[in-house]
Structure 1
Amino acid sequence: MSPKIPPAAGESRYDRRRARTRGVLLAAGRHLIAANGVASLKIQDITEQADVGLGSFYNHFANKEELVEAVVEDSLAEMASTAGINESNRHQDPAVTTGLAVLRIVGMAFDDPDLARVLVHLDHSDLVYSRAMGPQATAVVEAGVEAGRFVVPDVDVVVHNVVAGSLALIRRILDGEHDESVIAVQAELSLRLLGLGVAEAAEIAARCVEISRSETAG
């Protein structure tokens, strides 16, 4: 008898189908939260928006709150992946990394306002946002301190101020209080908070704007 050949490594058709269903549920949840907020979110509305049966929802999530948490986690992961603060896309200069991260994170309010609204509509958005961004931001600041690039009295306090300030600014942008020029201002202020001088912080923030534009154009 021929030996039994094990199945090829990778996802099965069933796994792929489950992943697709979960994806459309998350997309529907993100859309409805952005449009109406979390308080008015209903499971029936989610399944109708996703065009799936009610049973499919409960195959993936125990309740509405669990879906909201998953939406937030996916949203923050997407934001972090484009923020310039993970290992794969850090720049050699921690100041440039920080400036680009601030530009991209705050820029989400303009580039993807639906995603930004998902974040700001959460009851505990500040805590969730800080937990998601804090570890990566802390690593960048610590690297900058070790390299002598940043001078800060307390890394945790500075990171909290930079992260919380960025989220607060996202809220104000969504409320129509600022135009896109405020993003570079936030990058400059964040760099000054990390110990850079006024002139250097302004120069690096301007350089980060040019880098960001060239990457977008490319």
Structure 2
Amino acid sequence: MADAVVTNRLDRRKARTRAALVTAARALLARDGGVDASIQEITELADVGFGSFYNHFQTKTELFEAAVAEALEEHGALLDRLTADLDDPAEVFAASVRLTVRLQKTHPQIARIMANTGQQYLGAPSGLAPRALRDIEAGAKAGRFDVGDAAVALACTGGSVLAAVHLLEGASSAKVDRTADEVATNLLRMFGMPTTEARAVARRPLPGTSRRRT
């Protein structure tokens, strides 16, 4: 019994140390992509011993990849929760795009990580990319989208979203909202939806918000 208690305590300590390292890495990724950070800087920011780094990660690259994956999956899981009750695949897609662009004001750290790790973001197996592909394919199957190649449509989506996130750094809340809706509208139009309908879908109340249109 005593051995089990000690083991559980050690496991919790290891988990806390790993979480502190990932949190520090996320802060560095949001700051400048983490490219110039040393392991010493990472462990100091995490407030853990230098040697403990190697108990969890072999290289800085491995740590930063884990931090990116965590941030993207955190956002992807949020999108899944917020859009779970939407029936129209076009609205699911549009809402996900709008919520992602709005990260600049709702989750600025994740927005900066996305902006600083664009290529990883576009090809990541977690986060918005696989979910957007799923939603594009669902929209095409339901006849809501006219896309020849869902992977190409995904690339257009990812590029548009990342460009908007870059564009909106430091922008006002109202500007972020307008741009998020415009990006979604343009993508819906690109996927074959008539302009009037695309604008209507991209202006529907966002799930999980009390936002009103005037």
TM-score (normalizing by structure 1) = 0.83
Q: Which residue of 2 aligns with 1:23?
A: 19
Gap runs ≥5 in structure 2: none
Does residue 80 of structure 2 align to residue 105 of structure 1? no
Q: State the SS of the aligned residue for 2:102.
A: helix
Contact 2:83-2:95 within 8 A present in 1 as well: no
- Alpha-carbon spacing, 1:15–1:87, altered in 2? closer, same or farther (3 Å): farther
Which residues in structure 2 correspond to 1:103-142 (within 5 Å)?
103-122=98-117, 125-131=118-124, 132=126, 133-142=128-137
Which residues in structure 2 correspond to 1:1-218 (within 5 Å)?
12-84=8-80, 89=84, 91-122=86-117, 125-131=118-124, 132=126, 133-174=128-169, 176=171, 179-180=175-176, 181-209=178-206, 211-214=207-210
Distance 1:208 1:162 in 2: 21
Distance 1:109 1:176 in 2: 8
Contact 2:24-2:45 within 8 A present in 1 as well: yes
What's the offset of the Cα at 1:51? 0.9
What's the offset of the Cα at 1:28? 1.1
Aligned-residue RMSD, C-alpha: 2.7
What's the offset of the Cα at 1:103? 1.1
Q: Deviations over 1:88-142 (max 9, x none)?
A: 82621101101110011111122222222222223xx224333333322222111
Letter of the 1:183 counterpart:
A
Contact 1:83-1:102 within 8 A present in 2 as well: no
Letter of the 2:42 counterpart:
I
Q: State the SS of the aligned residue for 1:116.
A: helix
| Percent identical residues | 34
Letter of the 1:188 counterpart:
T
TM-score (normalizing by structure 2) = 0.84
What's the offset of the Cα at 1:69? 0.7
- Alpha-carbon spacing, 1:208–1:141, altered in 2? closer, same or farther (3 Å): farther
What's the offset of the Cα at 1:184? 0.8
- Alpha-carbon spacing, 1:159–1:117, altered in 2? closer, same or farther (3 Å): same
Q: State the SS of the aligned residue for 1:38.
A: coil
What's the offset of the Cα at 1:162? 1.0
